[in-house]
Homo-oligomer: A and B are copies of this chain.
Amino acid sequence: AVNGSRLWQSLMDMAQIGATPKGGVCRLALTDLDKQGRDLFVQWCEEAGCTVSVDKMGNIFARRPGRDDSLPPVIMGSHLDSQPTGGKYDGVYGVLAGLEVVRSLNDMNYVTEAPVEVAVWTNEEGSRFAPAMVSSGVFAGVFDLDYGLSRADLDGKTMGEELARIGYAGDREVGGRKVGAYFEAHIEQGPILEIEGKTIGVVTDCQGQRWYEITFTGQEAHAGPTPMVRRKDALLGAARVVDAVNRIGMKYGPLACATVGLMQIHPNSRNVIPGRVFFTVDFRHPDDAILAAMDGELRTEVERIAGEIGLETDFQQIWYYAPIKFDETCVAAVRKGVERTGHSFRDIVSGAGHDACYLSKVAPTAMVFIPCIDGISHNEVEETTPEWSTAGCEVLLHAVLDRANA
């Protein structure tokens, strides 16, 4: 019922924008390349007969009218921004699978009861601007608009400024409207489906997350004449926290994840003892109580390590959301879609955060996963297959029809 090769071709076309040498994509949120990706998406949607609107967070909505256009829409979506060395599918797949559903409905001259929309959420990755999923969070009322627009990158540029600069500061209010259902298709970004030979993941839950920003301040001094015992080496402290974060992740395994992904060293000179280090911690677990225990251990470790070296500490938890359960009716709609299309499947908990996590606060929500090769994502070599891509889109179509015609 869907045109899998058209979907694949669109994925490949979008992947040209910000293409990297190793076959990946660098299309950071609200850069010129992000604008190019958005423009291409908008053009495709208009060619498909949709009406396009943009809200104040730069979220894009392409609407295909329903028979009763006053009904709340069923929204499909995800994001077009990527990691610095990201892949071709993370986010883009959910957006373009949504577009393919619209194109397929057009091919069939099929009119749904409720309107159907395809959404692009701004800055899902949380790489250029932290936290992740900030604009779907504003849509869901989890963050207020000022918070969203004032998120700044490491150079101090805000999302508000950058939205205006690339021409995607829309005039539509963010959220505050009824959504009939929200479906997001995505690559799994982990190894489970591929290992078990399943084509579709019916996502029932998302694990919770806590993100931290830590700054250690010690004292810059000369690497030569400064005795070891007089040093206040901020990098030594940060290094010990990296090791502690790993220990915490292993201790609460196999489901816990614990990562230090970003670190900035000052002054970052070979023969200077680092005086200041800024770094981040990313904790995840499907059980909120365990996530809280991990939080407690991190605080204890950071205090102990700072104490033993004599560092000043600035410790901030900058982001937290509890594990999320998706809507039973929407999960059932996905499951029905799997049954109708006959693909192999299993229920799965998402390890990554998705815009669906926040949409679930204001709309019945579920997700469809497809495998990615070796479970690798946030990497230029991220890969999936045309067959899996088509299968996920078929399931998405059926789930959307189920809810749009309910």
Interface residues of A (CB under 8 A from B): 83-85, 125-127, 130, 132, 188-191, 207, 209, 211, 219-230, 233, 235-236, 238-240, 242-243, 246, 249-250, 253-254, 256-275, 280, 282, 284, 350-353, 375-380
Going nearest first, the 4 A-B pairs with the smallest beta carbon separation are A225-B351, A190-B225, A239-B242, A223-B259
Minimum CB–CB distance for A143 against chain B, Å: 17
A-B contact sample (19 more), CB < 8 A, given A225-B350, A228-B246, A230-B375: A84-B267, A84-B269, A85-B266, A85-B272, A126-B271, A132-B271, A190-B224, A221-B375, A221-B376, A223-B282, A224-B257, A226-B351, A229-B253, A239-B242, A239-B243, A261-B270, A269-B378, A271-B378, A272-B379
Enumerate chain B residues within 8 angstroms of A275, measured Cβ to Cβ: 85, 379
Are the C-beta atoms of B243 and A236 separated by less than 8 Å? yes
Given A240-B239, A266-B85: A375 touches B225 (CB 8 Å cut-off) = yes
B227 touches A257 (CB 8 A): yes
**CB-CB < 8 A to A376: which residues of B?**
219, 221
* Chain B neighbourhood of A191, CB < 8 A: 225-227, 230
CB within 8 A of A222: which of B189, B239, B258?
B189
In angstroms, Cα B374 to Cα A69, docked, is 75
A126 to B224 alpha-carbon distance, docked (Å):
13
Q: Contact check, A258 vs B228: say whether CB atoms are below 8 A apart.
A: yes
B127 and A272 contact, CB distance less than 8 A: yes
Inter-subunit contact A273/B261 (CB<8 Å): yes
Contact A269 B274 (CB under 8 A): no
Bound complex: CA of A270 vs CA of B233, how far in Å? 23
The answer to whether A353 and B224 have CB atoms under 8 Å apart is: yes
B379 touches A221 (CB 8 A): yes
CB neighbours (8 Å) of A352 from chain B are: 222, 224-225
Nearest CB on B from A85, distance (A): 5
Task: Give every chain B residue within 8 A of A350 (Cβ-Cβ).
Answer: 224-225
CA distance A384 to B191 in the complex (A): 60
CA distance A322 to B353 in the complex (A): 53
Per the bound structure, the CA–CA distance linking A275 and B132 in Å amounts to 20
A364 CB to closest chain B CB (Å) equals 23
Among A190, A226, A270, A351, the one with the most B-chain Cβ atoms within 10 Å of its Cβ is A270
Whether the pair A377, B222 counts as a contact (CB closer than 8 A) is yes
Partner of A254, one of B190, B229, B377: B229
Contact partners of A236 in chain B: CB under 8 A: 242-243, 246, 260
Q: In the complex the two chains form, is B282's CB within 8 Å of A270's CB? A: yes
Bound CA span A258–B228, Å: 8
Alpha-carbon separation in the docked complex, A105 to B189 (Å): 74
Given contacts A258-B228, A267-B83, A270-B211, contact A220 B282 (CB under 8 A): no
Query: Which of chain B's residues have a CB closer than 8 A to the CB of A250?
Result: 228
List 6 A-B pairs, Cβ < 8 Å.
A225-B350, A228-B250, A235-B261, A261-B269, A270-B282, A275-B379
A221 vs B379: C-alpha distance in the bound complex, in angstroms? Answer: 6
